[in-house]
């Protein structure tokens, strides 16, 4: 299997997605990269922080509500939406009032009352909403309209994120595991099988990449089985890659 899994530090994820050309990322600076990286682990202890909550799906479009936490009164932010090429699109300016609410500088609309709509997304594709402050602070929220994820009964969660335009490379994340827990995986794509262990960090988190590509194939369906030593519950994830993920003939 051309897709050898490997682990890396979390910040490397946003510098090493090879299919995203440097010119496409030129407008994304380190503070935004770091804000997105922090958001990947869904750490609720970080403040200020921004959460995106899917409230409905209508006619194939996902509607999200933004919930801010721990913002300092008087700070001013610009809201950006980042497209698949990581190019910023401004979505308005906001100022934090004495109650910690972000109000539009244009019409006093509360950010929490605003609905952000996302159209067609492939499975595992992520969009980003980022608040950038005048004092250079950046806070990000991630939206997965069509997530690829699994949550165990004890709250541990594993999910995949599409990272390349050809749909052949995914990042994987995990949180809520026990420190240094023994976790094994089996990855299958066509007749190729890869087995191994996921090293869980002391804080119970996990990050890495997976490439399900197979020589001679342009796309297909892959599977990932994850087992935890002290749990009978088995994670089974199936996902499309390559031309199949894009809805094209293989």
Give the dihedral sign, CA 6/37/92/126: positive
Q: Which two tokens stand for residue 229?
A: 């030593």
Residues of the chain with pLDDT under 70: 1-28, 83-85
Strand partners, 88: 82
User: How far separated are the first and last CA of the chain, in Å rounded?
Assistant: 17
> What was the pLDDT predicted at 98?
95
What is the reported pLDDT for 85? 67
d(CA 170, CA 61): 23
pLDDT at 27: 55
Q: Taking the model in full, what pTM does it have?
A: 0.78
Round to whole Å and give the CA distance between 206 and 209: 10
Our CA angle for 231, 236, 238, nearest 5°, is 165
* Three-state SS at 134: coil
């Amino acid at each position: 299997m051309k897709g050898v899994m490997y682990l890396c530090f979390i910040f490397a994820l946003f510098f090493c997605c090879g299919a995203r050309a440097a010119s496409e990322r030129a407008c994304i600076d380190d503070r935004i990269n770091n804000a997105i990286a922090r958001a990947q682990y869904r750490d609720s202890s970080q403040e200020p922080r921004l959460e995106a909550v899917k409230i409905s799906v209508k006619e194939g479009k996902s509607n999200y509500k933004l919930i801010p936490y721990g913002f300092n009164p008087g700070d001013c932010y610009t809201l950006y939406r980042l497209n698949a090429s990581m190019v910023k699109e401004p979505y308005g300016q906001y100022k934090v009032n004495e109650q910690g609410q972000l109000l539009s500088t244009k019409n006093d609309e509360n950010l929490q009352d605003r609905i952000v709509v996302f159209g067609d997304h492939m499975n595992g594709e992520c969009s980003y909403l980022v608040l950038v402050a005048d004092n250079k602070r950046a806070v990000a929220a991630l939206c997965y309209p069509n997530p690829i994820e699994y949550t165990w009964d004890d709250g541990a969660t594993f999910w995949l994120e599409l990272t390349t335009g050809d749909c052949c490379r995914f990042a994987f994340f995990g949180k809520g595991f026990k420190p240094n827990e023994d976790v094994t995986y089996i990855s299958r794509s066509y007749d190729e099988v890869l087995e191994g262990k996921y090293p869980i960090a002391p804080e119970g988190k996990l990050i890495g990449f997976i490439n399900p590509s197979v020589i001679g194939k342009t796309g297909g369906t892959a599977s990932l089985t994850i087992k935890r030593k002290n749990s009978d519950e088995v994670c089974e994830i199936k996902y499309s890659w390559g031309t199949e993920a894009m809805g094209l003939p293989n």
